[in-house]
Amino acid sequence: MRLEKYLEILPKSLWVMTCNSGSCNGCDIEIVATISPRYDIERFGMKLVGTPRHADVLVVTGPVTKYMKDRLLRIYHQIPDPKVVVVVGNCGASGDVFYKSYNLEGPVDNIIPVDVYVHGCPPRPEAIIEGVAKAVLKLEAKREELLKAGVEK
Amino acid sequence: MNWQEHLPALILAIPLLGAFATPLFSLGGKTLRNVWMVSISFLTLVLAFFIWKYVGANGVMVYVMGAEKATLALPSGMTYPVRIILEIDGMSAFMALAGSIVSFAGAVYSVQFMDRFTGMNRFTSLYFLLTAGMLGLMITGDLFNFFVFLEIASVASFGLIAFWRDKPEAIEASFKYMLISQLSAMMVLIAIGTLYGRYNVLNMAGVASMLHLGFAEKFVLAFLVVALATKCGTFPMHMWMPDAYAEAPAGVTCLLVAVSQASLYGLMRVCFSLYGATIGSTFIPWVIVIFGTASMFFGVSMAVVQHEVKRLMGYHSISQVGYMLLGLGVGLLALGNPQAMADYGFTAIKGGVYHIFNYTMYKALLFLTAGALYYATGTRDLDKLGGLARKMPYTTFMFAIAAAAISGLPPFNGFVSKLLIYESVFAVHPFFTVAALVTSILTLASFVKVFQTAFLGPEKACFATVKEVPTSMIMGMAILTLAIVLLTLFPTWVLSNLVEPAAKALVDQGGYIGAIMGGGL
Amino acid sequence: MWNKVFTGFGYWDVISWLIFFFIASFFALWLRSIGRRDYKEGTEQDEIYWSGNPVPEDGAEISVPASSSYWGFRKALEPYYKVLVAMHSGHIRDYVGYYVVTAALIAALILVV
Amino acid sequence: MIGNAPFLIVGVLFLMGLIAVLTEKNLVKIAIGVSIIESATNMFLIALGYRSGGAIPVRFLAGGEKLMVLPTPQALTLTAIVIAMATTALMLSLIMLLYRHYGTLNIDEIRRLRG
């Protein structure tokens, strides 16, 4: 990560990929609310991107249905290291009302490791922002680890 | 005897010899015929180069057919010329050079491109007949001879467009071209007959020296302009052009480009040398400017929506011819006015003439690359093509150069001529410049589309076995690529040595007449 | 040989453009060289992103056909293109008609103007 | 004036040919229209051949003081006829091929190249 040698600010501006793994779209609307003018997280350098290649953070909404399991895994693996997963909403955190439903592959942490849970159905935008802000700390910790392991040059 | 004074006859005789001796040489097998084809077209190129050198050094070249002394246009006691006279000024030599470069590249390309098909000896004959017709159009100084060469070129191109006669589209395109072409040829003949009836002369310089604008002359002008504009593909009469260009074999399409430029040359010869400054009192300069703008814009907007690669390029030919018509039309507007001529008119003519050379090179190259795509994949449909850049690296590289040049991307040669046209046309009305710029952008857009869909993108399973095209096809394309790169790197040299003599010769009506009539203007 | 081409209003200099081109390509290559190389080769990180779906083997399924490009342009100019495409009808008699009408128009107007 | 009659006929013939090309649907009739136009053109050239007051362009008959008319239009006409012959032959052979491919001589059905 050589560009970041020159620019200190780059690691702190998170680029976020969202993945809807079977949610009711309520959480997605709240995520949209965070990028709208009232909350405007883009002033912190966070933005939604269209491809996992560019992303630091994966935001997952919804319990993982059988169909979405493969897709979620693939998207997760396509995000470059270090990466942080934020689960937004009760469904993704625990299954919520769909708990033990026949077509669920379980909550998100059954499939991929989760770093931050944001609760609520749907969560308030402030909560989502706080969750992503916690993700910054997690991401920095992971980066330190990777540097120590010598993976990153 | 100076052998160089026979060059005008030789440059017609050599392709004709090539055409009619081909059946003889094809008896000796494929290799001999191919060697014959390439060497004859190379000889034509060398002759055209010599003519260009000679004209550049010694001024207008005159060759009287069948006379005792080839350079004596008016034997003593004659007041006007009666024989067929070939007259080569700077413009003709320039056009002949461009045309024979393209002819040579097309011949080299066709050696392996047409290898899969039978009937190659007929192909070779027609190819050289077309070359001879094109060169004849460019160097003749006689009106009826002009018509004869027009018809030779037309008949040869009908045959060549319909060469793949198992394809219904090819026959259809050839038939459509034939109908339009015959009508316009007949109008040219009627115009020529009228001029003969008025002045008893068929020589262009002779007619020009006596011409005064009357009722009949105006009709003649209208007929000639419309007929020749049709042959070079201007907007309301261009419909034959994409059909014919798309369906002809690629090596032929490349030469057809040069043939349409010969018709454009004829149009300019009629306007500049035959009518000269008297044309200013008619509205023909405006007609040509409007033709140019319309062809430019409508041609390119049809090209953007095409999805067949050669048809798309055919529509681009229309829009590029529009540029030349615009530049030369603005030059015609300024022709009677020395002040305007110095301000913007001569620059516009230079731009138009330079664009002729550039266009001939890069459009021929584009058609050759399209033919290479067709040769390698067997389809011309852009919807089916894709991911060929890794399979055909040379073709991709040359296509990219030609596409950048036609779109007027700096630093390629297309930009220089377009810049000359933009800036001089602006002096007449800014609208024309805007139209030209929009056309240029749309040209870029459509070639980005071709490049993206044919060469970039993921590799398709149906083209897994595609290989790079054979050597002779690459050689044919490389000749034109080399020409484009040289034109790009030395624009000043090209402008002062190649384009300016041609533009000066085009404007200099007195010099054209004086070479034949002995300064009797 | 390497001089500028004067157009009467401005000039064109191929050398300065080539220098500009080399400077621009230097910056482009520099930016490219400082990109990240720490992705894991041979894993999912090597694959293209296809909305999370498995990437089809045949490239024909994931390429955009030429007819679909500039769809918006075509849609926005639909009335214009309707007329223009209708002009290129394929009827040879239409083509001859355009030719004759243009010739007649110019021949008639040239006597008036 | 009777001297202008050939030119009138030329105009009529030319228009006839044009109308045939523009309105006929049959390919062969279109070819005939083109031939009529070619004939009109040839007739126009022939009509230009004589100038009032001149002698006929045959040397041993051109007697007296009169200047001989140039034989150029006749030569032009012959050349034009030959060229027209070649194009007519080519056109008819193309029509034959078109009929073989499309199975029709109706020009309205031969329009695969459009758009």
- Helices B346-377 and B393-406 cross at an angle (nearest 10°) of 150
Contact at 8 Å (CB) between B120 and B147?
A: no
Alpha helices (runs of H) in chain A, residue ranges in sequence order: 3-6, 26-35, 66-78, 90-94, 125-149
Distance of CA B302 to the CA centre of its chain: 22
pLDDT, tens only, A50-97: 888 888 899 999 899 999 999 999 999 988 888 899 999 998 888 888
With tokens 């001029």, the residue in question is B195
**Secondary structure (DSSP) of B342-377:** IIIIHHHHHHHHHHHHHHHHHHHHHHHHHHHHHHHH
Helix (H, G, I), strand (E, B) or coil at B379: coil
pLDDT, tens only, B80-100: 777 888 888 889 999 999 999
Token reading at A72: 């979620």
* pLDDT (0 to 100) of residue B74: 75
Helix (H, G, I), strand (E, B) or coil at C5: strand
Q: How far apart are CA B510 and CA C6, in angstroms?
A: 27
Q: Which residue has the higher pLDDT, B489 or B4?
A: B489
pLDDT, tens only, B26-73: 888 888 999 999 999 999 999 999 999 998 888 888 888 877 777 777
The fraction of chain B above a pLDDT of 70, given in percent, is 99
Which residue type sits at B272?
Answer: F
Indicate the pairing of strand A15-20 with strand A47-48.
parallel
The fraction of chain A above a pLDDT of 70, given in percent, is 91
* pLDDT (0 to 100) of residue B191: 92
- Helices B284-304 and B215-232 cross at an angle (nearest 10°) of 20
Q: Which residue has the higher pLDDT, B239 or C1?
A: B239
User: Residue B48 contacts by C-beta under 8 Å, 6 or more apart in sequence?
Assistant: B11, B93, B96, B97, B99, B100, B101, B135
Interface of C with B in 16-55 (CB under 8 A): 17-18, 21
Identify which of D36, D62, D64, D68 has the alpha carbon closest to the alpha carbon of residue D49.
D68
The fraction of chain C above a pLDDT of 70, given in percent, is 96
- In this prediction the pTM is 0.91
Phi-psi category of residue C48: left, alpha or beta, with phi > 0 → left and psi -120 to 50 → alpha: beta
3-state secondary structure B199-266: HCCCEHHHHHHHCCCCHHHHHHHHHHHHHHHHHHCCHHHCCHHHHHHHHCCHHHHHHHHHHHHHHHHH
- Would the CB atoms of B416 and C98 count as touching at under 8 Å? no
Q: Which residue has the higher pLDDT, B179 or C48?
A: B179
> B239 at the D interface (CB within 8 A)?
no
Q: Which residue range forms the structural domain that includes residue C9? A: 5-112
- Would the CB atoms of B168 and D102 count as touching at under 8 Å? yes
- Would the CB atoms of C88 and B387 count as touching at under 8 Å? no
The confidence band for A46, taking pLDDT boundaries of 50, 70 and 90, is confident
Chain B: give the shortest CA distance to residue C72, in Å: 11
Identify which of B259, B245, B282 has the alpha carbon closest to the alpha carbon of residue B169.
B245
- Of B298, B386, B426, which has the smallest distance from its Cβ to C84's Cβ? B298
Task: With a cut of 70, say whether residue D63 has pLDDT above it.
Answer: no
pLDDT, tens only, C9-20: 778 888 888 899
Chain A: give the shortest CA distance to residue C97, in Å: 53
The confidence band for A11, taking pLDDT boundaries of 50, 70 and 90, is confident
Q: Which residue has the higher pLDDT, C78 or D49?
A: C78
The confidence band for D50, taking pLDDT boundaries of 50, 70 and 90, is confident
- Would the CB atoms of C52 and A19 count as touching at under 8 Å? yes
* pLDDT (0 to 100) of residue D19: 92
Residues forming beta bridges with residue D106, ordered by sequence position: D26
- Of D22, D112, D113, which has the smallest distance from its Cβ to C93's Cβ? D22
With tokens 């230097």, the residue in question is C26
- Would the CB atoms of B179 and C92 count as touching at under 8 Å? yes
Q: Give exposure, B343-354, as e/b (b: 16+ Cβ within 10 Å).
A: ebbbbbbbbbbb
Q: How far apart are CA B90 and CA B506, in angstroms?
A: 8
Q: Give exposure, D30-62, as e/b (b: 16+ Cβ within 10 Å).
A: bbbbbbbbbbbbbbbbbbbbeeeeebebeeeee
Chain B: give the shortest CA distance to residue D106, in Å: 12
Which residue type sits at C66?
Answer: A
Average pLDDT, chain B: 89
> C88 at the B interface (CB within 8 A)?
yes
Identify which of A108, C13, D76 has the alpha carbon closest to the alpha carbon of residue B202.
D76
Chain C: give the shortest CA distance to residue D109, in Å: 9
Q: How far apart are CA B111 and CA B202, in angstroms?
A: 40
Task: With a cut of 90, say whether residue D89 has pLDDT above it.
Answer: yes
Q: Which residues of C touch D18 (CB under 8 A)?
A: 100
Task: With a cut of 70, say whether residue A152 has pLDDT above it.
Answer: no
> C91 at the B interface (CB within 8 A)?
no
Task: With a cut of 70, say whether residue A5 has pLDDT above it.
Answer: no
pLDDT, tens only, B367-416: 999 999 999 998 888 888 888 888 899 999 999 999 999 998 888 888 88
The tally of domains found in chain C comes to: 1
- Would the CB atoms of C98 and B236 count as touching at under 8 Å? yes
The fraction of chain B above a pLDDT of 90, given in percent, is 46
Task: With a cut of 80, say whether residue D57 has pLDDT above it.
Answer: no
User: Residue D84 contacts by C-beta under 8 Å, 6 or more apart in sequence?
Assistant: D35, D38, D42
- Of C9, C67, C80, which has the smallest distance from its Cβ to B383's Cβ? C67
pLDDT, tens only, C84-110: 999 888 888 889 999 999 999 998 988
Q: How far apart are CA B473 and CA B398, in angstroms?
A: 12
Mean pLDDT (whole number) for C41-54: 82
Which residue of C2, C18, C67 is the best one to mutate when testing the B interface, meaning the one whose CB has the most B CBs within 10 A? C67
Chains B and D touch (3+ CB pairs under 8 A): yes
Chains A and D touch (3+ CB pairs under 8 A): no
Domain ranges of chain B: 1-279+511-521, 281-489
Token reading at B384: 């089916």
- Out of A19-23, B15-19, B71-75, B374-378, which region has the weakest mean confidence (pLDDT)? B71-75
The confidence band for D59, taking pLDDT boundaries of 50, 70 and 90, is low
Q: Which residues of C touch A75 (CB under 8 A)?
A: 49, 52
Chain C: give the shortest CA distance to residue A51, in Å: 7
- Would the CB atoms of D21 and C96 count as touching at under 8 Å? yes
Which residue type sits at B447?
Answer: F
* pLDDT (0 to 100) of residue D62: 56
Query: Alpha carbon of B436 to those of B84, B123, B326, B440: distances in Å?
Result: 40, 38, 9, 6
Task: With a cut of 50, say whether residue B520 has pLDDT above it.
Answer: no
Task: With a cut of 50, say whether residue B315 has pLDDT above it.
Answer: yes
pLDDT, tens only, B218-245: 889 999 999 999 998 898 888 899 999 9
Task: With a cut of 50, say whether residue B521 has pLDDT above it.
Answer: no
- Would the CB atoms of C12 and B488 count as touching at under 8 Å? no
